[in-house]
Amino acid sequence: MPTSRRAFLKTGAVATISALAASRLAFAADAELELSPGEPGALISPNIYGHFIEHLGGVIYDGIWVGRNSSIPNVDGIRKQFVDDMKRIGAPNLRWPGGCFADGYHWRDGIGKSSARPRTYNFWQRRMPPGTDATETNQFGIHEFMHLCRLVGAQPYVAANVGSGSPAEFHDWVSYCNAPAATVSLADERAANGDTQPFGVRYWGVGNESWGCGGTMRPGEYATQYRKFVTQFPAYTEPFLVATGPRGHSADGDIGWTTGFFEGMRGATPPDGFGLHFYTDLRPTPLKAGDFKAPEWYEVLLRGVRLEKVIEDHWNELGKFDASHRTKLVIDEWGVWYAPGSEITPTYILSETITLRDAVHTGLTFDIFNRHADKIAMANVAQTVNCIHSLFLAQGAHFVRTPVYHVFDMYRAHMGARQVPVRNPVPDMNVPCLAGQARLSGLSASASVRDKRLVVTLTNPSIGAAFSLRIRLTGGVRARESRGTILTHADMRATNTFAAPEEVKPTDHTVKVAADALELNVPKQSIVLVEASLA
């Protein structure tokens, strides 16, 4: 028996499956998944693979906006490499301008001649290293943001200022963005600033973290604000309005926020989306972003997969107020957030080293999203560049795709496809963690189908055990051909740096087509994409 398989069996994870497999299969698989492509479920919204950029540290300035006169290749001031790579992964949306920044942002500061725009206070000044300055130059405003969205092909998702703004300011911004040309004066002003045609912004966030930096409100107070902000909404474009939802990573999951908000909304039109924030929050721990051992590897993954229960709990709570579930979840901030210490430069606050561990966390998260595609209208990683769970790190002429970028690239195959039921009998493994020992699923999987194209994504969270896998297709479905892609590395701490940008990158992976099955090996600490065309 190969060492890897022996190690996997030692975890006690697959003994039963192994026996089952051996009895039936020529390919002596350690584990078997069962997929039902003939019974497709919910549509996996492309918006689940969405993004978030905020005026914070090095996200907007330098990360994205390098300026029109920069020697760094750019399109009208926007970093060209960023645009190209975001197009490549089919980035479906961009949330902007915050985050906490949004509730201190006044949109008029970011329009008009760039040299005449005011310099203003940035919420994140309080987190900057002593002696450094976060003054907002407003060079990147709504026109620049819309230009970026159009270049990438992404839907804009704009977070409005509830915390320090007014309904009138919000409504004027909506009219400025969406009023048809030559109608209201704000449409003329938009045209004078370079955009005659309306932006057609559909997704609006009504505040952000209103329980915290967005106003420190109680849920009932926020419900009152929400109603005031949306009742006179200028509906030039059919809106998708997102209310501030809970701090999902709170110890109690913050169900009280959801209950309190919807109680305060009785009798009013519920929002289209309810924003749930879920950070795998390691800030209160000694864990480091780039240097860790086995317990810290598993600690991050164990905390990350709690998201599944948080989604289920809040969904159930929503159902108590509306059994038809008109309001969907919008997980508009998620990611692994480490304590400070691995910033690419001190003023790029909240930037972090991104390793294979974060890539594996991303695979687990996306599988959760796919499995709950019926509940989730949108999700936005926090944040796309130079902040927390980044896909890119950028500094001046340097630019690198992190391991997380490659997971987005692999999972894009699910976008807009229909969820396929997966029976995954792989048992949990015992793993070390900060508290001693815990149980973590031995294999994460999700699957989808579109136009006879089957996509399966698999994440093996184990740092010790590889195994062979048989993916059996039910209902007489047959695969004609298949290909595999894998993201892994011998070193669990592997990362991509400006000096070694391709240390962690996807490679081809062998998948065999058998009569009613696909067969492959799943190495330790890996994310595997299987694509098959169905007969």
Nearer of residues 100 and 318 to ligand AHR, judged by Cβ: 100
Nearer of residues 335 and 523 to ligand AHR, judged by Cβ: 335
Stretch near ligand AHR under the rule CB under 6 A, chosen from 228-236, 381-389, 437-445, 492-500: 381-389
Nearer of residues 73 and 341 to ligand AHR, judged by Cβ: 341
- Identified binder of ligand AHR from the candidate list 98, 207, 234, 275, rule CB under 6 A: 98
Beta-bridged to residue 158, according to DSSP, are 96, 204
Beta-bridged to residue 333, according to DSSP, are 277
Distance CA 53, CA 55 (A): 7
Ramachandran assignment for 185, one of left (phi > 0), alpha (psi -120 to 50 degrees), beta (any other)? alpha
- Nearest approach in angstroms of CB 332 to ligand AHR is 9
Residue 367 in the binding site for ligand AHR (CB under 6 A): no
Stretch near ligand AHR under the rule CB under 6 A, chosen from 96-104, 198-206, 223-231, 313-321: 96-104
- Identified binder of ligand AHR from the candidate list 50, 57, 99, 163, rule CB under 6 A: 99
Which residue in 54, 209, 299, 352 is the catalytic one? 209
By the 10 Å C-beta count (0-12 exposed, 13-18 middle, 19+ buried), 297 is classed as: buried
Residue 50 in the binding site for ligand AHR (CB under 6 A): no
Range 143-147 contact pairs with CB under 8 angstroms and sequence separation of 24 or more: 143/110, 143/111, 143/193, 143/194, 143/195, 144/65, 144/76, 144/77, 144/78, 144/110, 145/94, 145/96, 145/97, 146/177, 146/195, 146/199, 147/76, 147/78
Where in 207-226 is the site for ligand AHR (CB under 6 A)?
A: 208-209
Annotated catalytic residue 519: no
Nearest to 457 by CA among 363, 335, 360: 363
- Identified binder of ligand AHR from the candidate list 30, 32, 54, 358, rule CB under 6 A: 54
Which residue in 54, 333, 352, 519 is the catalytic one? 333
By the 10 Å C-beta count (0-12 exposed, 13-18 middle, 19+ buried), 252 is classed as: exposed
Distance CA 31, CA 470 (A): 6
**Nearest residue to the partner ligand AHR, using Cβ:** 99
272 in Cβ contact with 230 (< 8 Å):
no
Task: Say if strands 93-96 and 51-52 run parallel, antiparallel, or are unpaired.
Answer: parallel
Nearer of residues 99 and 363 to ligand AHR, judged by Cβ: 99
Distance of alpha carbon 422 from the chain centroid: 22
Stretch near ligand AHR under the rule CB under 6 A, chosen from 94-102, 314-322, 359-367, 476-484: 94-102
352 in Cβ contact with 338 (< 8 Å):
yes
The 10 Å CB-count burial string (b at 16+, else e) for 415-428 is bbbbbbebebebbe
- Letters for 165-204 (x = contact with ligand AHR by CB under 6 A, - = none) are ----------------------------------------
How many chain residues touch ligand AHR (CB under 6 A)? Answer: 10
Nearer of residues 99 and 165 to ligand AHR, judged by Cβ: 99
- Identified binder of ligand AHR from the candidate list 333, 343, 352, 358, rule CB under 6 A: 333
Annotated catalytic residue 209: yes
Nearer of residues 209 and 254 to ligand AHR, judged by Cβ: 209
- Nearest approach in angstroms of CB 70 to ligand AHR is 26
Q: Name the site residues for ligand AHR (rule: CB under 6 A).
A: 54, 98-100, 208-209, 333, 382-383, 388
Residues involved in catalysis: 209, 333
